[in-house]
A and B are shown apart, each in its own frame.
Chain A
Amino acid sequence: MALVQWVNLEKHADYAADSDIGSEDRCGALEIKTAFASGSVPLSYKVKVTPSGSDDVTYTTAELGRNKNFKMTKGATDLGTSAEVVMSDTVKLPAAGGNKYKLEAKDANGKVVKSEEIEAKRKLYYQFMHMEDTNGKVTPYALTQMEGHCANYHIVLSKAGTDKKIPFHKCVNSGAGGRFSHVGFAADVRAEYDLTAPQKKVGCVTALSNYVASFKSTTKTLTHSIGGPANPKISITPSVAAGVATTVGIPGKITLSILTGHEFLWYGLDDDDDLAKVWFIDGAASFTPNTSSASPSAMAGQSIQISRTDVSIGGTKMRTHGGHQVIEVTVNPGSTLDNMISQASGTLDFAFELNRVKGFSGGFSWGGAGFALTTCCTKAWFEDKQPSKSDVIWNHEIGHRMGMVAFGDKPNATYPNPKLPDAPPHLYGEKRGVNDKGHQGPHCEEGAVTYNATTKRWSGTPGCVLFGATGTSAASSPLTYCSDCEPVVRKLDLSF
């Protein structure tokens, strides 16, 4: 059995305390001690470290020129201080995981001694957190699947510290201008993140969240032809004026199916947003008389604002945990709007600026808060997230944490990182706003997938876990890397 050398770890007692490490000697550079028989003078001896694995990965010349950790480097030779003559050599192994090496020392007489085979591994730590407080909770689950996934690439992903609870928020709003954004979420996580400093250096937080979604402003119009063909998206209940039978007027109601398909109002995703009616930005109605009619001139071409107090969510939820598409407008007796809908003929145009759900995210990986944060949602599209999808998301996000998809040879990337290996052939998204293809950050489009830039839709079958989504409408993303990304993962420098 090969001796394991943890090539991404520095020599530190915190790492050595792990049972699978056991000694600082097993971290960082190899220290090779060569003992000579008492009285011998170690002249002209040589120490040699030679790659010996059958499936070692190798770095390109360009990669070796960009990151010194990709190279094998030899340190100084020391004469030992013990009674017998012991020479000490230091050799820093390359950053790659899974590579194997044999060590040989040869003295001036040609005598060769060998050590056990050395296998290079990498180790990362994670602290597990989940949202839970008196407002709600997400049910925690173990990440053993992700640990096994990483092990396939010679990375030991080790759970460390104690599991922590962070405040519950229905949604991390991933869009610009959201109430509870990644910044607030990161602050909650940071307050609980208490791995040791050496562990944090090669660590991350894995936090379970509820929804990760974003909103966008959208303008919608619906047209009602008074006395003409009915619009199936509009239903009007007239108000009842005060009179003999009803001493107080009864408001009417206009019900508008303002969204359809998989478009939903920004409602049910943040209690404070719901209270503030964030789904509603502005609204108006405009009346246009028929050219042939004799409508009252006071109404002609008139438009009125629809106030926030007069709008509400209507209809029923379309999915298990929410999903609303209908709004209602109160028609106060005697109001201008009441007069508009009371006309015998003409056209009534309704226009609304709304916040709708732009989309849901499975999770994200972010280092901008000064530590590595990865999260996976437990709900999306107002449904519980399927465990199989969550597995894909975790493997995807931990891949981002490690530096995938690599683009070290792309100096024109938005955030160039020459310390990464060369890019695999199906990289996209390293240039923000240029080759994102609807996703954010570097991803892999290996597989039978096609992006339609006009419809902004992907189709086909993804072939890599670092595809930019959990799948297309046709097929899910796989749990593993494609054959192009596999060697890149092994080549990553995880010393950070």
Chain B
Amino acid sequence: MADKLYQMPENCDFSKVINADTHSNECTPVLDNKFFSKFSGLLINGPKEVVWPKNGDPSDYPAGPWGTTEGPFRLMVAGLVRTEYKTLGLKGEASEEVLLVAVNQQTAESYSGKMPQPDVDTEPDFDMGLEEIPPTDEEQNKLLTSYFNFDLVHDLGLPIKEASYNVYATLGEMKSNSIIINTKVE
């Protein structure tokens, strides 16, 4: 990996990927240096093909209250976003703002969505009296990585039918690599 800033894991098991998880996994793109890489931007990795069963119904596998999914009707994509702390005011925690897009290559129908979020209050509803100490100027320029994992069936509403999709992720002006995912129903 000396001359390349990242690698895409191949032959990893996408069925183990957890929807809406903010952690890396065996399918997550790997940077040349996890913390101090010079890479900035978005990377995604997905299966080349997914086969869904002909019988059954996705509604038989309801998502958990916070978007975790299970069952045979899933299509998982893993990725990372590496931005400066100051980018878009996201403090380096950009994964929840990443928009994943899947475009049907035959019909040009487009599907997009963000990761589902747990129904939690991200700040207290009372004054804790704890001030946020801002980072130094130097720390504001540091590149920080956050991870995302999508289930395109649940998060984007991909239909259960045979198709070929061009899939990519965006954040602001940034766009990831594009991958082709073929779906089959057998």
A: which residues have CB within 8 A of B? 174-177, 181-183, 212-214, 216-223, 231-233, 257, 260-263, 281-282, 284, 286, 303, 318-319, 349, 351, 353, 358-362, 364-366, 368, 380-381, 383, 389, 414-415, 432-434, 436, 438-441, 454-457, 468-473, 476
CB atoms of B35 and A351 under 8 A apart: yes
Interface string of B122-145 (1 = CB under 8 A from A): 111111101111011011001011
B104 within 8 A of A: no
- The one of B113, B118, B124, B130 in contact with A361, judged by C-beta atoms closer than 8 angstroms, is B118
CB atoms of A218 and B120 under 8 A apart: no
Contact flag A261-B147 (CB < 8 Å), given A177-B21, A281-B23, A433-B113? no
Contact flag A359-B146 (CB < 8 Å), given A260-B130, A284-B36, A319-B128? no
**A359 to B142 Cα, complex, angstroms:** 25
Interface string of B146-184 (1 = CB under 8 A from A): 110100001111000000000000000000000000000
CB atoms of A472 and B125 under 8 A apart: yes
CB atoms of A219 and B118 under 8 A apart: no
Name which of B123, B126, B131 has the most chain A CB atoms within 10 A of its CB: B123
Contact flag A432-B116 (CB < 8 Å), given A176-B19, A176-B21, A257-B133? yes
- The one of B63, B121, B145 in contact with A469, judged by C-beta atoms closer than 8 angstroms, is B121
**A222 to B134 Cα, complex, angstroms:** 11
Name which of B33, B120, B126 has the most chain A CB atoms within 10 A of its CB: B120
CB atoms of B122 and A438 under 8 A apart: yes
Q: Within 8 Å CB of B19, what residues of A?
A: 176
B: which residues have CB within 8 A of A? 18-24, 33-36, 62-68, 85, 88-89, 92-93, 113-128, 130-133, 135-136, 138-139, 142, 144-147, 149, 154-157
Q: Within 8 Å CB of B36, what residues of A?
A: 284, 286, 303, 349, 351
- The one of B65, B68, B145 in contact with A364, judged by C-beta atoms closer than 8 angstroms, is B65
In the complex, the chain A residue whose C-beta lies closest to that of B156 is A433
**A319 to B130 Cα, complex, angstroms:** 10
In the complex, the chain A residue whose C-beta lies closest to that of B85 is A221
Q: Within 8 Å CB of A366, what residues of B?
A: 64-65
